[in-house]
Structure 1
Amino acid sequence: MKLVIAIVQDKDANKLRSVFVAHNIIATRFSTTGSFLRAGNTTYLVAVDDDKVDLTLNLIKETCSARQQFMTPPVSLNG
């Protein structure tokens, strides 16, 4: 048995949960917050049998996507 820890963006969390349910993968879900962009994340703790690890990782990769976000740095008027 292996423990998979997946931190995904909130935009992908509900879709990933549905995919886990469809494949009978049991996961514990936590709401978390990133420190850099202060964006909401969801952390999944998934305990799976050794033969389902590859399936679980592939489902996460197929369901969740990477995104780019642009950020404007704060302007300092002290100088």
Structure 2
Amino acid sequence: MKLILAIVSEVDKNKVNLALIENGVPATIIYSTGGFLNRGTVTFMIGAEDDKLDEVIDLIKKNVSERKEVSKSTLPPALQSLFFVSKQKIEQGGAVIFVLDIENFLKV
């Protein structure tokens, strides 16, 4: 058995969740914040049998989107006028997926 930890953008959360539900894949969602742009993310915790691993990962891949977003300055507005602040387009989206071996699984 495997534990899949899939970190997904808040933007893609509903689409991924719906795909998992429609395919009978139970998941626990943990809300978090992270990434370079400090945007909202969610972590899906999914227990999957070894033979279902590729199917679950494909479901996640098919339901996340990649997009470019403009980074915002972390300087206070008063200081932004004193320094040259360039805005950069950052690729966002997709998912970060960790797969862990599970020695024991109990549902009580």
* TM-score where L is the length of structure 2: 0.66
Change (3 A) 1:41 1:56: same
The equivalent residue for 1:37 is: 37
Larger Rg: 2
Q: Residues of 1 paired with 2:42 and 2:64: CA distance?
A: 12
Q: Does 1:77 align with 2:82?
A: yes
User: Unpaired runs of 5+ in structure 2?
Assistant: 84-108
State the AA in 1 paired with 2:49: D
User: Once structures 1 and 2 are overlaid, which stretch shifts more, 67-76 or 38-47?
Assistant: 67-76
Greater strand fraction, Structure 1 or Structure 2: 2
Measure how far apart 1:15 and its partner are. Answer: 1.2
In structure 2, how many angstroms separate the alpha carbons of the residues matched to 1:27 and 1:34? 20
Shift of 1:36: 2.4
Aligned length: 78
Q: Say which structure is richer in helix.
A: 1
Change in Cα spacing, 1:35 to 1:8, as seen in structure 2 (3 Å) is: closer
SS in 2 for 1:55: helix
Q: Which residue of 1 aligns with 2:22?
A: 22
**Aligned residues with identical type, % of pairs:** 36
TM-score by length of 1: 0.88
Q: Which runs of 5+ in 1 are unaligned?
A: none
Secondary structure (helix, strand or coil) at the match of 1:41 reads: strand
